[in-house]
Structure 1
């Protein structure tokens, strides 16, 4: 799915660049009313899971991803009272079928699935054009009424099945956004107008779940052309003088003063524990980074020993959280010892073969038996080539070394809530930690220069106090820089400063912007906060729906009315930076949506949210990315609850 989304992004960007390049000719006078027909290809990208095809067919192996190219054809009416705003109404046949990635049934039998979903779609759109070109944007809702829901399923050694999907929604409400360009193919001297309009639109997965069961969703990229007919005034073809202008670059400048209060948060954190133990390539021994105790040391070990308070930066977590995770075998041993009725299963996975995977699992079992005196009958082991939820997906070709290192592991599984809790899948029951957090950026003046990386060679700032004493900082090249308040103040308790940003464009033009800055010595305050985290499997954003009950039942009751909720989304470094930023934003936004719904139902209407996705940003990542466990922990949404801020 990652590669397919990147293909969509590249096609959209290239198409926009082509249409902008075409938009240099002066537009002819448009007709208010246009009508015509359009044809297009729907590129349908399926994601999610389907296994129950209808009430009589539950296939043995689930299908997850699919792709199909299906036809789209419409009759449309377009109204353009002016060059900028207008409207479009399409009534169309809309094909949304797909061929799913083949799977292997438990009998080692290849299986295929092809869906043939189709709709009658009604698509009203707002049209936004230009007074100087035929380039336009459009966006609006899509109302789709199901017309076809058949499928074809084949499995080796089984008869083929051609039938209808069950639980298909009769009506779909979703949205689209797109771009197009009107090529006027009729003579400018004629009143009747004919336009040929290539267009491109994107239909994101929001609202496009075709069924009321399971988790299938569709994202569609539509590429086509419309034939338009209308009437307009005869164009004035008298040559007009032209002038060549070099527009000034768009540069913005703003200053954020340091906070007058240095906020330190006393945080009570619910730290989730991944139920994984990762093994190094070329070795079947438990890696030395995991804390391994002697039998005498294990007698006195309690997981509560890991909960001591310490001070950490708000930009990320301290190394203590990773140390807690690296005690996962000791935490497991302590919980098994404290709950004698519980059992666990250890599932080892290795690309070298299931035998090595079982060796991993047996090594952990022997540690728990010999060091924590756990009865062997309470621990079962097995070996696999891939884990139950692998990071490496079929067809993937990029960064396979990083993905495969995350799949070389042992999964700790249990049905006992004393050991694991089900929060969107198996996860070790969380550990409670206490910490004092601070944000070093609170004490900095932050200078924002919008457009600097794209337009400027460099920029600097001059900071002058009331007496005219000047301080110079720079040169800089990024869009944002910060300077500590104490550096600006020197020995002064406070001051008001005139700030002048001076830059040079890449074409050699000077740029000057001004602002003011008020700086005061900080006052330290302490506020209490609660922190929760959600962990994701590789490249998953929509799986946050599986955490809905955890967010509703555990997190939302801890949010008082009038408090602030800070939600940060993060990813590991695997994949493109831009995609990871979008992925983290989607994770954080979906968590906010679920919490807002739960708070509204509880009558809490005065809660403020600060939600942002940092992607793989190194300065904001909770952990480094050198170890597989660090990358797994960076696939997260962190929720901080600050009461009565």
Structure 2
């Protein structure tokens, strides 16, 4: 997002940045794409207001073209718009690091990785605080907390399953599903004046070898009187990054875990981009979500926090938070989302 030189004077106020604490943007409900498109402005503000600071502009082009003009364009914007000293912005060029794509990347996906490797990387920031995480703390209605969570716990190899909820003069079908756990929207099962109601859920599952299994469970659906508030945290990963959740452990332990109180509910969703095989992406997102869950459980236990319900689920490339059609969308889809509801 380009600003004029005159607009930079109001940038701190309009984005929640202050000279005292350039990380104050973390306190505002800013959507992640806004931060991405404002990244140069955020860094321009920090460079201008941090004496002795510097940041390397590292440019790459996978087609063998000279990438230096990419970095020079970025430098020109920061110098002319923000008044950053040119000496604060050394330029370097070379292969993309970290690089999107591997020798195992399917041929159909290679053009997407080429697109991602044509970029300018902001790196080697001095002092370290120049590159402090711009986190998102979004407070919103806890939609997940108003849904029916259903999990298939049998040891059978389930190919698909569906559920039928009956009661209160209603009969509604959900599915079929292939995932072991899902959220079901109960909207409409209770009338607007009903505080609660009795229902039964019949689950019919088909096994991989063609058998049919079924089970019925009765439950009480209670209308929630108070709205929960959800604070969302995100862990973003590089393409094919080794142990990305492990790299985020300090953030989980020192920033996410302290925000969780006894009695809270935590929903963890793993996502991937659309590159690679569907089943591999699903397994990868599930593994990352469950690793995040274990780290949070350990951190909460160490803090003496109990009675916290944590649910982890891998989404793979299904239901992506951002569009997979743009390089930045794919970048943000390599993520684990943590929703803390309390």
Which TM-score bucket, shorter chain as reference?
A: 0.7 to 0.9
Correspondent of 1:412 among 93, 98, 122: 122
Higher-Rg structure is 1
TM-score, normalised to structure 1, is 0.44
Correspondent of 1:583 among 273, 280, 284: 284
CA distance in 1, matches of 2:241, 2:174: 40
> Is the Cα–Cα contact under 8 Å of residues 266 and 338 in structure 2 kept in the other structure?
yes
Return closer, same or farther for 1:363/1:531 CA change in 2, 3 Å cut-off.
same
Quote how far apart the aligned CAs of 1:570 are: 2.4
Q: What is aligned with 1:304?
A: 16
Return closer, same or farther for 1:545/1:292 CA change in 2, 3 Å cut-off.
same
Quote how far apart the aligned CAs of 1:630 are: 1.8
**Can you give the 5+ residue segments of structure 2 that lack an aligned partner in the other structure?**
18-24
Aligned: 1:454 with 2:159: yes
Aligned: 1:370 with 2:80: yes
> Is the Cα–Cα contact under 8 Å of residues 158 and 208 in structure 2 kept in the other structure?
no
Return closer, same or farther for 1:501/1:625 CA change in 2, 3 Å cut-off.
same
Q: What is aligned with 1:478?
A: 177
CA distance in 1, matches of 2:211, 2:291: 44
Return closer, same or farther for 1:407/1:613 CA change in 2, 3 Å cut-off.
farther
> Is the Cα–Cα contact under 8 Å of residues 561 and 604 in structure 1 kept in the other structure?
no
Return closer, same or farther for 1:543/1:383 CA change in 2, 3 Å cut-off.
same
Deviations 1:27-76, CA, capped at 9 Å, x for gaps: xxxxxxxxxxxxxxxxxxxxxxxxxxxxxxxxxxxxxxxxxxxxxxxxxx
Deviations 1:257-288, CA, capped at 9 Å, x for gaps: xxxxxxxxxxxxxxxxxxxxxxxxxxxxxxxx
Correspondent of 2:93 among 383, 389, 411: 383
Q: What is aligned with 1:430?
A: 133
Aligned residues: 326
CA distance in 2, matches of 1:417, 1:488: 53
Q: What is aligned with 1:347?
A: 58
Q: What is aligned with 2:4?
A: 294
Correspondent of 2:146 among 418, 430, 443: 443
CA distance in 2, matches of 1:506, 1:570: 26
**Can you give the 5+ residue segments of structure 1 that lack an aligned partner in the other structure?**
1-290, 311-317, 421-428
Q: What is aligned with 1:331?
A: 42
Return closer, same or farther for 1:633/1:483 CA change in 2, 3 Å cut-off.
closer
CA distance in 2, matches of 1:588, 1:507: 29
Correspondent of 1:631 among 330, 333, 338: 330
SS in 2 for 1:614: strand
TM-score, normalised to structure 2, is 0.77
Quote how far apart the aligned CAs of 1:566 are: 4.4
CA distance in 2, matches of 1:541, 1:517: 43
Higher strand residue share? 1
Q: CA RMSD in A?
A: 3.9
Quote how far apart the aligned CAs of 1:575 are: 1.7
Quote how far apart the aligned CAs of 1:636 are: 2.1
Higher helix residue share? 2
Structure 1 segment 455-604 matched on structure 2, within 5 A: 461=164, 463-465=166-168, 469=169, 471-474=170-173, 476-478=175-177, 484-490=185-191, 492-493=193-194, 494-499=196-201, 514-527=216-229, 531-558=232-259, 565-597=266-298, 602=302, 604=304
CA distance in 2, matches of 1:504, 1:550: 41
CA distance in 1, matches of 2:46, 2:111: 34
Quote how far apart the aligned CAs of 1:442 are: 3.6
SS in 2 for 1:524: coil
Return closer, same or farther for 1:419/1:563 CA change in 2, 3 Å cut-off.
same
Quote how far apart the aligned CAs of 1:298 are: 1.7
Return closer, same or farther for 1:558/1:520 CA change in 2, 3 Å cut-off.
closer
